[in-house]
Amino acid sequence: QHIACIFDLDGVLVDTAVYHYKAWKQLANSLGFDFTEHQNEQLKGVNRMRSLDMILQWGGVEKSAEEKEVLAARKNEWYVAMISKMTEAEVLPGSLQLLQELKSQGIKIALGSASKNSSLILERTALAHFFDAIVDGNSVTTSKPDPEVFLKAAELLNASQEDCVVFEDAAAGVQAAIAAGMKVVGIGTIENLPGSDIVIKDLSEITVTEIERLKSLTTD
């Protein structure tokens, strides 16, 4: 039977990771501290509130639940202002070609993102029409590394876990895919994405045939 592909959004299909980083950095700076790019890696794929908790901890800052709501909303306002200006040019290399190729071969495609802003991003970058199912931060209760987001996507595609291949740029996302019992293509570097079945720089480095071949691999 056929494979099904589940794509993370930020850092895999589109270059929004840089906007998340800028907005969080601005928030941290406004609170009187900073964090490194290495620390930022740990925020990838992690939902908004959990990200804020991690950043506040790095800065040694404690805030009440209400204050945290305000801070998260402020970051999101800055972030939304940035992604509202996104264009189709910000679709990452290889994304469009691969999505087109999968679609033309009748392979099902889902989005599996932690973001609550996925519909705005998909609309700005004209990618929305590729997806047979969309699961994002508005439809899940637990954040990556929990497998919920990918299991929901598989269910909506009517695909079994072992037929799914996940594309992820975040360590938390790779862990989520493994926990879901799926194959995982890491986008980035092997040091940042341990456990991936294969790691590539971007989606231009993989073909549909290679993705199909991954399915027959045994991971244990």
In the residue annotation, 10 being an active-site residue is answered as yes
Q: Which residue stretch of 4-12, 31-39, 60-68, 201-209 sits at the interface with ligand G16 (rule: CB under 6 A)? A: 4-12
Helix, strand or coil, per DSSP, at residue 147: coil
Q: How far is Cα 219 from Cα 142, in angstroms, rounded to an integer? A: 25
Residues 6+ apart with CB under 8 A from 36: none
In the residue annotation, 136 being an active-site residue is answered as no
Instruction: CB nearer to ligand G16: give 117 or 175.
Output: 117
Q: Please report whether residue 13 would count as binding ligand G16 according to CB under 6 A.
A: no
Q: With CB cut-offs between 5 and 8 Å by kind, which of ligand G16, Mg ion, none does residue 47 bind?
A: ligand G16
Residues 6+ apart with CB under 8 A from 174: 168, 184, 186, 193, 194, 195, 196
From 3, 6, 27, 43, residue interacting with ligand G16 (rule: CB under 6 A):
43
Q: Please report whether residue 10 would count as binding Mg ion according to CB under 5 A.
A: yes
Query: DSSP state, 124?
Result: H
Are 200 and 220 in contact, with CB atoms under 8 Å apart?
no
Q: By the criterion CB under 5 A, which residues form the site for Mg ion?
A: 8, 10-11, 45, 169-170
Known binding-site residue numbers for Mg(2+): 8, 10, 168-169
**Rule CB under 6 A: which residues touch ligand G16?**
8-11, 20, 43-48, 51, 76, 113-117, 137, 170
